[in-house]
Structure 1
Amino acid sequence: MGPVDWASSRVCGRQRASTGNVSGKYAVLEFEPLLDSSSIDSKGWAEIAQTIFRNYKLFDGFVVLHGTDSLAYTCSALSFMLQNLGKPVILTGSQVPFSERKNDALENLLDSLDIAGHFMIPEVCLCFNSTLFRGNRTTKVSASAFDAFASPNFPPLAKITAVGTHVEWNSVKRSTSLEAFSIQSDLEIHHVACLRIFPGIKPKMVEAVLRTEGLRGLVLETFGAGNAPSGHDNKLTQVISDAVQRGIVIVNVTQCLTGSVNPLYAPGMVLGRAGVVAGGDMTSEAALTKLSYLLALPGASPESVAKDMATSIRGELSEHAGTIFKHPTGELSSPVAQLTAIAYATASGDIEKVKDILRNDNQLINRADYSGNTPVHLAATGPNIAILRHLLSLGASVHIRNHTGSGRTPLFLAANAGLLPHVMLLRQAGGHLHAEELETARLHASQRPEVWKQAGLEVP
């Protein structure tokens, strides 16, 4: 596999326009047998990775031509498999093949060759429709349009125009490890699964997936910012918790195209306490392949994999994600911004941050967010009971009900989460279950009778 002169005058022309008459050379390798991209699996990914590894010292960059159906999956997989990457690896394809008169194949190929040969962007990237994306941030958004791919939660690395190529160099990720390029060619892709939550899903359906022989990891696609139905008896949460106890790593990603999973509100906190890893703003493709990669690493344990899933290792997630919603004006008003800050601090157990915010405006203690949750509601299911105690010491109400169902008190939320110390503190502060909560509380009481008894419910 040796370099040869660029065969197309069209290629040379584009190359000269962007690089100032610097000649380029390339070599072509065709895999056998050729696969439809919908049929690729970890074996195909390993073949690509091994080919790049064998030829790594011979070339300045690599372009991989690939069908679009599973292109985002391959981009994500290779981004993890290629360790300490120091050269560009650009994947591309087309919506319309070369054989058609009006196609996007030629432009995508030429753009990819330009980028790989003349720009030191040492990442696995996807080049499509004159745009260069970080590969593990992409997802396919159209079955027919030329702009078939998007990177919903991360801006493009480069844009290609008739004038030239503009690279966002501050966004380019570079390996900082003093180690040579290597590959992890084995992935546990056959031992992970992806499950999309939907309204009315039965716990036994989820359990059937989690009981699949050999399953080691699951990507759970949930509603909004990471919510899943709990039901009156918390059966689904229990099914998930039991699977985590068996050593299955479960990662929570959002079904939404943009945004992030964050254990901010009560349902998300419940999944977090069950041992589910918040996947931040990772795409499903990135979460699935990253989970497969981490499970295949030597010495991997459920604990180490869960920890690394929540950490960015190839730029696949934003470790400091912003707020998970936007105010209608585009800017958060001061009270909304402060309530959001309190919510994040409460979710992370940061009492000093909560104190600092309330020191400037203690009227926030009884102010509700768009879900009707006051800071006490959030603290009632939070990890640090000291925050709840501090709010109560400032005079925060234990009687305000949120907008869930018929309205839930902080005491109901604490009991439903099984947090006995929180329940006892709220009761000490005068909290009680509202009359409209009692019927639902009795349905939950069979799971944690002692907790609900302490909440003031008459348990038979």
Structure 2
Amino acid sequence: MTVNQPNILLVYTGGTIGMIKDPETGALKSFDFKNLLERIPELKLLDCNIETISFDDPIDSSNMNPKYWVQIAEIIEEEYHNFDGFVVLHGSDTMSYSASALSFMFENLAKPIIFTGSQLPIGDLRTDAKENLITSIQMATLQRAGKPVIREVGLYFEYKLYRGNRTTKINAEHFEAFESLNYPHLAESGVHLNVEYDDLFKPNTRKKLVVHKQFETNILLVKLFPGISETILKPLFNSAAVKGIVLETYGAGNTTTEAWFIDLLKQTIKRDIPIINVTQCSGGSVLMGQYETSTQLKSIGVISGKDITTEAALAKLMFMLGENVSIKTFKTIFETSLRGEMS
């Protein structure tokens, strides 16, 4: 390795970005990431040393789950002191969930972990994979006074770097697949790389890195809709297996005020099951008590997700339950921004 050049570790988990078309059949298959430089000779022009590590069996991101989050985290944890930055190649479908989860796993993170992927395979003529990959690596190498500029989990896609736990996949067809509706992007790639320094996460660098690896997956996500039925909801909420619930409500956090519904929430909270209120809207925030339809929620102890995304809310709930946060402090901690995931 050359002295003074940043060392970047590429972690390939799977996803479209690492696929090439079989010229005979036209089917997509993973290619060996060791041959990355042959596929993208431009990587040699980057002012850094790149090493790659790949899942033994790359997965489609639809199969992503906490077991794999731990696998990604352990690769990074093991190599943390050998590299200046990390780029995780991941399928775009569940990328926002994984980026959110990793942000909670890495406490006092002082280096970049940047997720990226692509809508078209790397071997494709019109691929977005090259730009996404090259710029993600460049973002991960950015340094100021010998220290990394990005010190959080980011997600880079189509010319923009976002805070990972603020993103949502909004489009399955456009190259611009992601959006961060409640938080400005962290950097933009044009003729120059423009970094919004004021918007970057500022970790406590005096503290040692702590990696959390416990997730509780026995949780429920319920999206409200007009006509939602007591018959269906009751057994779900009353299931002994359920440890926490994320409720996707209307607008600024409103729900039906029918007695059965409010009572169901109340009884569930009494059993020490945290219920998180997040909005179904792509952007905006939950403001319980702004309308009459959410005043009762506030008084029975529903937790406000404020402007958190559903993806980050689920990851945070799994993480906090996995950490065995006591129910007494659960609401306070959930409503506090831990990694910049809420305003």
Shorter-chain-normalised TM-score: which range?
Answer: 0.7 to 0.9
Q: Secondary structure at the match of 1:75?
A: helix
Aligned residue number for residue 316 of structure 2? 290
Q: How does 1:266-281 map to 2 (within 5 A)?
A: 266-281=292-307
Given the alignment, which residue of 174, 181, 192 partners 2:219?
192
Q: Secondary structure at the match of 1:194?
A: strand
User: Alignment RMSD, CA only?
Assistant: 1.9
Identify which range, 97-106 or 241-250, moves more after superposition: 97-106
Q: Secondary structure at the match of 2:67?
A: helix
Aligned residue number for residue 65 of structure 1? 89
Structure with greater proportional strand content: 2
Aligned residue number for residue 159 of structure 1? 188
Q: How does 1:29-48 map to 2 (within 5 A)?
A: 29-48=53-72
1:259 aligns with 2:284: yes
- One-letter amino acid matched to 1:280: K
Q: How does 1:12-411 map to 2 (within 5 A)?
A: 12-13=44-45, 15=46, 23-119=47-143, 120-161=149-190, 163-176=191-204, 178-188=206-216, 190-231=217-258, 234-263=259-288, 264-298=290-324, 300-318=325-343
Higher relative contact order by CA 8 Å / sep ≥ 6: 1 or 2? 2
Q: Secondary structure at the match of 2:125?
A: coil
Structure with greater proportional helix content: 1
- One-letter amino acid matched to 2:174: A
Shift of residue 203, structure 1, vs aligned partner: 2.5
- One-letter amino acid matched to 1:204: T
Shift of residue 12, structure 1, vs aligned partner: 4.2
Which structure has the greater CA radius of gyration?
1
Contact 1:279 1:310 in 2 (8 A): yes
CA distance in 2, matches of 1:144, 1:209: 34
Contact 1:252 1:278 in 2 (8 A): yes
Shift of residue 4, structure 1, vs aligned partner: 9.2
- One-letter amino acid matched to 2:43: V
Shift of residue 304, structure 1, vs aligned partner: 1.9
Shift of residue 35, structure 1, vs aligned partner: 1.0
Q: Give the structure-1-normalised TM-score.
A: 0.64
Q: Which runs of 5+ in 1 are unaligned?
A: 16-22, 319-460
State, as a whole percentage, how many aligned pairs show the same letter.
38
Q: Secondary structure at the match of 1:308?
A: helix
Q: Secondary structure at the match of 1:28?
A: strand
Contact 2:120 2:129 in 1 (8 A): yes
Q: Secondary structure at the match of 1:230?
A: coil
Alignment length, in residue pairs?
305
Q: Give the structure-2-normalised TM-score.
A: 0.85
Contact 2:118 2:129 in 1 (8 A): yes
Contact 2:8 2:140 in 1 (8 A): no
Contact 1:61 1:87 in 2 (8 A): yes
Shift of residue 97, structure 1, vs aligned partner: 0.9
